Structure 1
């Protein structure tokens, strides 16, 4: 039932996103200046993945805690002091609400707790609830409409989505969890002298890039020597860097890669020697062209450390990856947004902030854009 594509994201009370519903295209680009809150779109999707992973409360604590992550502007009397996020994946919709503990709750004083969870499915135009959770109580519904309670000693800080055993969860629920866990997020790779990108990697097959890029050399080696297809990768490197060649030796104990510049044909430059921008671009290549294409990749400011002249090559990289992967880009670069619009014909969504609230130009309260 799950096609894997993210169709819509609804967010209430999360940082500067007071109440917004976003339709997400196969390539979705959100462009805005610093401080407009565009990164909160990235974080809201990341929120959903951590709900599936089962460490949402810990992740929120690392983001500064519930008080820091909640909308801090004016609220109406009836509005609950909660973060509420919903995401639609194929025919399924996952909804979760997080709030503060009550005095009788089995939790620490300021620990973010799950108040409600729901998974709904749309079958033949009808909406059916597959899972519903209020407090510690979880109700599971099968396709035949039969309901059962799941008594799994669910703590208020744990998501039902992450805890439901495969034999209890409906097939679609388990599939949704797997889909969310497969999402990939990349935010500003480290390129300093101690960055893991600058070191060789263990010589093991790597089908996806780690979040910190530490296995980049292994990802490239897997493409070169296991799949034996680096045509797109090497073509992009030549386009981006005026004919430079990406050299990927067959790994022994460690995997490594080198750049051969046209001006220095007899010298190979190692990972440790590459400029910040070159390394950043190569890491993005690893993220988007890995052996196994993720269903969704979310990029936050991928233009970091890159010269504006690299924006057309970066747009080509994203467009090539979008042939197999849904991609959401959050950027402050008008150059990158313009190149993506030209290369893919995707609409650019402009992000702005008014009175502390992040707004998307042209977006109405129903979650559609005017004129579309």
Structure 2
């Protein structure tokens, strides 16, 4: 199920941005233009579906730190994240809680960085009619539409700092909401992989079937072995050869622990993970991500070109384009070369972001969102 529109307002440099999305979406622009903010907004949206909204925001300094800090209108201070598909539309709006830091006995709280969910809704578009609301939240009040189509009040107390969708645990009563929550929670995000000498990538790890590479890539060897056994091993071999001609992947196995390695042309022994370059190790991670036997509905890559040699950008672009046949993909990149290779291989336009008066906008659009003459 592909996202057709992404709406972000009041989050860091994204004062108000509505983006039409396709199966493959590439965003580029200079340093400081807000590319990573776009990526993080999607991360936060998925976190809301998992019940990890407050923690995700806390990792960025808490609610006061993530709000748009530029000139504001007369409306309240809030961050709004919205996602629209063909059949569903979801939106959540968060603001600052009316709380103060301090002892509980004095009316204070230690959780003053948490968000306060002010509004939230899920709607299903209806041809020729008003959208049907499946979920409507106003602060702590929540209305739902059950499996029989009846509008009911949710009887349990909500946690103010988390989404209502993550707190509804009755899939038998609200099957559409449960399905949508699981779909969003399964989105995958990858932003760099540690390749320093102490990185788990360079050390043997316990191996189990791993159809989905972890966010930090520590289970790389198991993920590659899983592709070999139950995935498209021929594609893995082809893509490896396209990037490193004549090379051969090997997975070292000892006492249930796996470690990736490469046999390179002219070398009589395989290179272990601790001997591979940063770029080679990261490219192997991208192979595991993009050839996953369990592709997600949405896959977001933030700066996948990091430490990758320029010669590998074209095969990486082709791999990303192929993967977009199985998942909707969003790529945020500094690399003009990678963006150009993806555009050439797919025909999809590249969104170029820029910052105007502190606000992230799409190049060629006015601040009001229209196209420049």
* TM-score, normalisation: structure 1: 0.92
Distance 1:154 1:203 in 2: 40
What is aligned with 2:323?
321
1:205 equivalent among 209, 218, 233? 209
What is the CA deviation profile of residues 143-172 of structure 1, one whole-angstrom value per residue up to 9, with x for unaligned ones?
665211112221211211101022465222
Change (3 A) 1:369 1:167: same
**Which range moved further: 229-238 or 185-194?**
229-238
User: Are 1:61 and 1:112, in contact at CA under 8 Å, matched by a contact in 2?
Assistant: no
User: Are 1:271 and 1:279, in contact at CA under 8 Å, matched by a contact in 2?
Assistant: yes
- Shift of residue 90, structure 1, vs aligned partner: 3.6
What is aligned with 2:153?
149
**1:1-372 aligned within 5 A:** 4-77=1-74, 79-103=75-99, 108-126=111-129, 127-142=131-146, 145-167=149-171, 170-227=174-231, 229-248=232-251, 253-264=256-267, 266-363=268-365
Distance 1:132 1:25 in 2: 28
Flag structure 1 segments of 5+ consecutive residues without an equivalent. none
Change (3 A) 1:214 1:59: same
**Which range moved further: 362-371 or 234-243?**
362-371
**Which range moved further: 108-117 or 308-317?**
108-117
Distance 1:366 1:129 in 2: 28
**Which range moved further: 48-57 or 89-98?**
89-98
RMSD between aligned alpha carbons? 2.2
User: Are 1:21 and 1:365, in contact at CA under 8 Å, matched by a contact in 2?
Assistant: no
SS of aligned partner of 2:360 = strand
User: Are 1:303 and 1:333, in contact at CA under 8 Å, matched by a contact in 2?
Assistant: yes
- Shift of residue 226, structure 1, vs aligned partner: 3.7
Number of residue pairs the alignment of both structures matches? 365
Distance 1:136 1:32 in 2: 40
* TM-score, normalisation: structure 2: 0.92
Change (3 A) 1:106 1:173: farther
Distance 2:320 2:350 in 1: 14
